[in-house]
Structure 1
């Protein structure tokens, strides 16, 4: 028996009764012409041909892969339908993989807006699309200054970059698309006078009209006095701000001495 086993070629197959484990089997012909499997000692069961088992395993794995890809596609599309746009980390939290997301991008099923940011190709683009992109790239940031002024229709200026405020100790992300100009606000200033707006399904935090005008006077040396005065004039003309609200907010932000002469002049003229 040992001599017969030594002369018989060895075949490495997957045991159907021990899925996931491999067993070294030697096949020999017994007296009745059937093939019997041995692993050191004779076994009582007769196994199917290794090739047939491998074919079935290959077909099953292929079908499983196809269904997995379809599942990932459905999940990714569902998230983008609901949120408008999503980061790669958000898509992966649904069970999708980076590979499946890249495959969907190559197929044209989804569109990459920037590194790690995706959207459906038929998603409607709103006027303030870049603000939604910026909010996705910097979730803890607040749209402010000239960008907030343009959002509230208080200026005709279209800033080339999105002005976004972050906390003093927050890490400044390296974002190239969309271009973002970061400023540091005190932590309390990132909560007071901040509104939440929905743009293309994305929640975007933006400073209110009153807070935006006061911030423009705070940053008048960077942006220029003309921008701040324009925002104040338009806010009063469109009745989006009240003089009393401006005065209180300016006093709290310690810019009342700089803002007071312009507010009094515009109020008297109005």
Structure 2
């Protein structure tokens, strides 16, 4: 029996360190799938989605769903309303995680946290990315100026009011300079769309 006890200890250690672990990571650490499913049955681990586990008493951060999705789709970048919420620029609580992936990338299958996929060109996907750690998981997320510009670019998907709110908050909280936002908007082809709002919001500021 000592073998399985050790495997459970290893699994607990990996999960305590990483917050969320894939089955593959647990297997690499020497824990069999059978042990993981026994631990799940005994309530020692929680299955978040297919092949994704965490400890039942793990501290759930407000951005837990972002960590879960980042584990499932490590190449993707958190964007739009999810990025606005992460940066504290909207009161909206997105019902799903907005994810940017490349034009040719595989879209992840629905499982666990609901996600909305937005396809970006390579140049726009690889720009303005920040890495933050949530529950021990590194997540890629667009910075404030880029997120605001993207919200105007995808205003038909998320609503113009959400984009304007993001812009207002970014300026009010001084999280991004008007010039930075304008540059990102130009790169994303929405410079002319965003400029009147930028002028209006900075004129009376």
TM-score normalised by L of structure 2: 0.96
Residue pairs, 1:47-62, within 5 angstroms: none
Unmatched 5+ stretches in structure 2 = none
Cross-structure match for 1:88: 23
> After the TM superposition, which segments of 4 or more aligned residues of structure 1 sit over 3 Å from their partners?
none
Q: Any unmatched runs of 5+ in structure 1?
A: 1-65
Q: Secondary structure at the match of 1:204?
A: strand
Aligned to 1:172: 107
Correspondence for 1:260 among 180, 186, 195: 195
Match among 167, 170, 177 for residue 242 of structure 1? 177
Shift of 1:231: 0.7
Describe the superposition over 1:69-95 as per-residue Cα deviations: whole angstroms up to 9, x where unpaired: 122112211110110010111111112
* CA displacement at 1:219 relative to structure 2: 0.5
1:214 offset after TM fit, Å? Answer: 0.2
CA–CA separation in structure 2 for the residues paired with 1:105 and 1:68: 18
Equivalenced residue count is: 205
Q: 1:215 is matched with which residue: 150, 156, 165?
A: 150
Alpha-carbon shift at residue 227 of structure 1 (Å): 1.1
Judge conservation of contact 1:148–1:207 (CA < 8 Å) in 2. Answer: yes
Equivalent residue, structure 1, for 2:33: 98
Offset, 1:163: 0.4
Q: 2:97 aligned with 1:158, yes or no?
A: no
Is contact 1:137–1:175 with CA below 8 Å preserved after alignment?
no
Trace 1:132-211 onto structure 2 (pairs within 5 A).
Answer: 132-211=67-146
SS of equivalent to 1:197: strand
Larger Rg: 1
